[in-house]
C-alpha cells in the first residue's frame, strides 16, 4: 500500500510524469467540475419550482421538464466521465 502511494505521489516517481497520471488527474478534475455543474442544475430545478409557484402561467409542466432535462443531461455527462474515462 505504502509503495503504491509512493509510486503515485513521490515527485521522483516515473508515474507522475506519465500520461496515465495526467489522464487520471484530468478525470478527477472533470468529475469535480461536472459535479459542481450537477449542483448548479439542481439549484436551477429548485428555482424553476419556486418560480412556477410564484407565477402560474399554464406552462409549469414545460418549464419543469426543461429544468429536469438539463439536470438529467448534467448527471449523464457526470456518469460518462465516471464510466468511460480511463
Partner 1 sequence: MPDVFNAEDKEPKRSRVQNLKKSVAASEALQNAQERGGSRLSAFCAMPESVEFDIQHADEPVLMLLRQHPIVNVPWIVITIFLVLLPIVLPVFSFISFLPANFRFVSVLGWYLFVFGYAIQNFVLWFYNVYLITDERIIDIDFFSLIFKHISEAKIEHIQDITFTNTNLAQSLFDYGDVRIQTAAEIPQLDFEKVPHPDLVSKFLSEMMDQEEQEKLDGRVR
**Rounded to the nearest whole angstrom, what is the least distance from the CB of residue 11 to partner 1 in the complex?**
24
List the one residue out of 68, 72, 75, 69 whose CA is nearest residue 34.
75
CB count in 10 Å sphere of residue 41: 22
29 binds partner 1 (CB under 8 A): no
Can you tell me the distance from the alpha carbon of 8 to that of 74, in angstroms, rounded to the nearest whole number? Answer: 30
Site for partner 1 in 47-76 (CB under 8 A): 47-48, 50-51, 53-59, 63, 66-67, 70, 73-74
Question: What grid cell was written down for 82?
Answer: 465516471
**Rounded to the nearest whole angstrom, what is the least distance from the CB of residue 39 to partner 1 in the complex?**
12
Cβ closer to partner 1: 17 or 80? 80
Amino acid at each position: 500500500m505504502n509503495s503504491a502511494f509512493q509510486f503515485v505521489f513521490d515527485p521522483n516517481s516515473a508515474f507522475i510524469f506519465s500520461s496515465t497520471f495526467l489522464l487520471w488527474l484530468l478525470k478527477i478534475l472533470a468529475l469535480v467540475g461536472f459535479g459542481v455543474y450537477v449542483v448548479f442544475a439542481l439549484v436551477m430545478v429548485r428555482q424553476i419550482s419556486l418560480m412556477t409557484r410564484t407565477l402560474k402561467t399554464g406552462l409549469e409542466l414545460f418549464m419543469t421538464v426543461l429544468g429536469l432535462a438539463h439536470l438529467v443531461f448534467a448527471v449523464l455527462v457526470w456518469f460518462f466521465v465516471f464510466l468511460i474515462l480511463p
